[in-house]
Structure 1
């Protein structure tokens, strides 16, 4: 009984110590894991790809949308002119607008296929696709009426916003970590920090409108942030700079884990929207 009581706390201590070692190994090991850098590569690609997707979608939608708006506006404001210019505009819409939409939808299917490949290679996902269309006619029909096509269009459109947010996250995380780690190189430089280039002023305003009555309530005290320094990294001794550098290493590890977490969210989001979308025509051509 005595040996059992003695060994039980020792065993519990060893178990806790092993768990602590495992957690530390996992936390510090983020630097040497290939998955970390694959995730970072995916996040780096998100912003330029998002800009490209946004450009393709906006350009393709603007042409038929502009022609349609012109016809509707002409019919509403100048119905007589519609009799003269309506037929040419309608022909342009049929000959240019509709083919443009089909080309954009085809491009969106191929771009969603590219996104699946990137997610599979860099985020270690496994996104199933829909069964390939057996004929070219069925491929065209699915291009317009298949739910997966429009899910892909929504995903590509959202990639611009997500890529922009990811770019700011990467830029801030890397810059902030570098400034801390490199503290011994600039520890007597008073210009190192985060500064405002000019004053920022905000005037709270509340507008109430009801039955033709409009009441504007403006705060008499504006909120302002003067031009100057927000955060300073100025240190005047080498010892403090080395301590700050050590903190920067810890912050860098946390930032890498944050990047992995964001990449994991990207993977789940991509799986949710791109599941059962149409495969690429180049990998699964119709007969």
Structure 2
């Protein structure tokens, strides 16, 4: 029982010392700007491609957008493999048989549209990641900094009340060193819990990436996939 409790306590506190935690944070931190970039790229490319499909210009734009989506999905698989430790195998663009045959495969291959769907989903995942990072870490850092800032005019943590003071909530204001130490202790607990929650969010992102992008089961036997490492 003692060993179990000790191991559980070590796992709870040790999250801050694990390098994987910070790789997860880096992955989540990049998720929103990348997700927004992918969404804008697809929105512009698909809109122009479909809108101009009756002209000579529209079809190349649409094909280039789909090819770009496949390449970006491969990049995302590699990013997940490097930062999250996943093993996502993606398919490569098949340009054999000439331009017409390659274009037909690109448009009719279900994997292409899974790549497009994944890149669209990334915007939602990126938004959730940004909100979680900003909320949890800013709250934790603000509380941890209470012993250094409690006597200043700056707010520590979340401002929930309306009265004037260094730190405000509906019922409690930190304006002494003792209270600041208590706030920092609470901040430490929140920081550890936040790191565990963010690790869980990163694992969820990795699971979604594997589910939508991994092609090893379908193409492994023929060698059509790439490791994306």
TM-score band by shorter chain is 0.7 to 0.9
* 5+ long unaligned stretches in structure 1: 1-15, 69-92, 197-226
Per the alignment, do residues 194 and 34 of structure 1 end up closer, same or farther by CA in structure 2, a change over 3 Å counting? Answer: closer
1:77-125 residue CA offsets vs partner (Å, 9 max, x unmatched): xxxxxxxxxxxxxxxx331111110000010010000011001111111
Task: Note if 1:171 corresponds to 2:109.
Answer: no
Q: 2:178 aligns with which of 235, 239, 257?
A: 239
More strand by share: 1
Q: 1:160 aligns with which of 106, 123, 128?
A: 123
Q: Is the 8 A contact 2:77 2:90 kept in 1?
A: no
Deviation at 1:42, TM superposition (A): 0.5
Report the equivalent of 2:55: 94
Per the alignment, do residues 261 and 49 of structure 1 end up closer, same or farther by CA in structure 2, a change over 3 Å counting? Answer: same
Q: For this pair of structures, how many residues does the alignment match? A: 212
Report the equivalent of 2:45: 60
The alignment partner of 2:113 has SS state of helix
- How large is the Cα RMSD of the aligned pairs? 2.7
1:223-250 residue CA offsets vs partner (Å, 9 max, x unmatched): xxxx947836631221121121112111
Partners of 1:254 and 1:136 lie apart in 2 by 54
Report the equivalent of 1:201: none
Report the equivalent of 2:111: 148
Task: Note if 1:27 corresponds to 2:12.
Answer: yes
> Which has the higher Rg, Structure 1 or Structure 2?
1
Report the equivalent of 2:70: 109
Q: Is the 8 A contact 2:51 2:58 kept in 1?
A: no
Q: Is the 8 A contact 1:47 1:166 kept in 2?
A: yes
Relative to the length of structure 2, the TM-score reads 0.83
Partners of 2:186 and 2:92 lie apart in 1 by 52
Partners of 2:47 and 2:93 lie apart in 1 by 30
* 5+ long unaligned stretches in structure 2: none
Report the equivalent of 2:32: 47
Q: 2:193 aligns with which of 254, 259, 267?
A: 254
Deviation at 1:272, TM superposition (A): 0.5
Q: Is the 8 A contact 1:190 1:234 kept in 2?
A: no
Partners of 1:150 and 1:126 lie apart in 2 by 21
Partners of 2:64 and 2:173 lie apart in 1 by 56
Partners of 1:191 and 1:263 lie apart in 2 by 32
